[in-house]
Amino acid sequence: MKNKTKLFLLIFISFNLYQLKATPKKKYVTEEVSNNETSSVFIVKSDSIFEKKYNLILDIYRKEKYIEALNLALSLYDFIKDDKLMYESYLTKTLIADIYDKTNNHKRALSNYKEALLLINNKVENNDINYIKSKDFAKIYLRIGSSFQKKLAKDSAKYYFKKIENLPSLNNDILKYKASAFTNLSGLYEMDSIYDKAILYAEKSIKIISKTNNKIGESKAKMNLANIYLSLNDFQQSKEIYLEGIQLIKNDNNQNAVSLKADLYYNLAWAMRNLKEYEAYDYQELSYEIEDGIRDKEVRRMAAEIAAKYNIKDVKKEEENKRLKNQRTFWLFAIGSLVIILSLLYFLNFYKLKQKNLRLKLSQTQLIQNQNIEKLKSESQTRILNATIDGKESERKEIAETLHDSVSALLSSANLHLIATRQQFNGKTPIEIDKTQHIIAEASQKIRDLSHTLVSSVLLKFGLNYAVNDMATKYSNSAINIETNIYGLRRYHQNFEIKIYNIIQEFVNNILKHSKAKNAMLKLYEEHNKICFEISDDGIGFNKKKISDKDGLGINQIDARIQMMNGKFQIESIINLGTTIFVELPVVEKETFNHV
């Protein structure tokens, strides 16, 4: 009766699941040490402020708040990277890479792991240098190898795993990294059908793990080794190793151990089936019981009751009579399976969409940070440029005032002394006095011209109205006629007038140098407490899109100056039809003095 029951179970299971005719669950169990760990060396030696910030970010990361953790980690890295804190930079860069790895952005994860490796290469500690470096190198090599493995770059993954193999086994931490690397190398060589090396590394991993009392880890390593022998059709050897793996976790009811036992029982059943040991079906049943739980237990209970109630002959007759009923049951099972598959596909697509949105948010965050950095750079450049221009204008004004008030006055005084000396002579005056007076007069004229070039004396004495008219008169000639239309102006703060005059002068110089115009108009007026001026010409114009390439025009400097003065600046130019420039600047009032 017992044999009949088993035979019925075989028919029932084959009809519904077809599992024993399928391939075994040859799961390749990869090993990677948790990326949530911190370094004990860091806790002892690191600066307390950095330690607090780093541990805060690590806590947020463990809570799977990846966007917040990434923002804080990037800020922390920017804060410490220029302070030659090599080890702290290495820890932070590794954490950034771990966050990218958790969000399946393996490309950026790999890039950051490599940068962390460069940092650890440059790290110098005062004591325990061999221990620190070996452990850190083992850790980062495992991370880089795992990243390449996820990108299916098997040769690169092997290269970094083997670098761990060559490190000295100084402590248990390094042995733990080596065991993980050996397990991964074993799987990679199995995928490439290089079974001798796959077996070698699997056995190395088992040897290390067996010393750590990590039963689940050792059982995983045993299953990997048994899977290799299964690929070689050495079913007896694989059976023995599967049994060893099961024995290690037989009484462990941990969730990971239970799932691992299900896989071990299933693969054991497949190996025993190939050995014609029909006890395999008992192990397969045990695997189903673990994986499917109460539902499959109930199905098998019902099958056992049917098998106990009827003999094989009766079952065959009953099968014929209930063919239509079984067919309906089959279709119900098929429809239910289809619903489950569609549900899994839906949740899989939902998960992928969630990951995609997460990567998009990370990219957007990084873009905003880059934009803020560029904005700060632009504002800094504008301030530097305006400070340079302000310094230049102040220096020119100071030189002009010195020439006019001091040097010119000294020359006038010298000339007066010569006139008085001439009266001392009764008769013909020496020719040297005449020549000296001529030289002094020429020097005075040149000083007046130079002073006027540095800062217009007309501007300082009479204001913008007269200074701009004077500029138009001086620059007009037979090649170009410059006219003015100025109204509603008064006197303003002297520095404000100088800045406006210099801006207009720069625009006029550009017209003279580049426009090839025959006529130009300078329109200047005050409206609503703002100075407005419009400068137009009938020249050749230019392409506004290429204006940044015309460094000689000084447009960028003028634009920066107007921005700092809180003004508005607009250029309209058409090729061969001329250019018009509009500028609007808030008025800066003339200083008033209280006389006591």
Tell me the domain boundaries of the chain: 33-171, 368-451, 463-586
Task: Output DSSP code: residue 306.
Answer: H
- Percent of the chain beyond pLDDT 70? 72
Helix (H, G, I), strand (E, B) or coil at 191: helix
Q: What is the per-residue pLDDT across 141-174, written as a single tens digit (0 to 9) for each?
A: 898 988 888 888 888 888 988 888 888 876 777 8
Residue-wise DSSP of 102-121:
HTT-HHHHHHHHHHHHHHHH
Question: Residue 436 burial by CB count (10 A; 0-12/13-18/19+): exposed, middle or buried?
Answer: middle
Q: Which CATH code is given to the segment(s) 33-171? A: 1.25.40.10
Strands 578-586 and 530-537: antiparallel
pLDDT of residue 449: 63
**Which residue type is seen at 589?**
E
Of 216, 142, 206, 204, nearest to 173 by C-alpha is 142
Q: Provide, for the chain, the percentages of residues in helix, strand and coil under a 3-state DSSP scheme, each rounded to the nearest 5.
A: 70, 5, 20
Of 26, 27, 19, 29, nearest to 280 by C-alpha is 19
Query: In 10 A of CB 193, how many CB atoms?
Result: 9
**Which residue type is seen at 217?**
G
Rounded to whole angstroms, how far apart are CA atoms 427 and 114? 97
Strands 519-527 and 530-537: antiparallel
- Please tell us whether the domain made up of 463-586 is placed in CATH 3.30.565.10: yes
Q: Which two tokens stand for residue 283?
A: 């192990």
**Mean model confidence pLDDT for the chain:** 77
When pLDDT is averaged across residues 93-121 and rounded to a whole number, the result is 87
pLDDT of residue 99: 92
Q: What is the per-residue pLDDT across 240-261, written as a single tens digit (0 to 9) for each?
A: 898 888 888 888 888 778 888 8
Q: Report yes or no on whether pTM surpasses 0.85.
A: no
When pLDDT is averaged across residues 410-433 and rounded to a whole number, the result is 75
Query: Is pLDDT above 60 for 354?
Result: yes
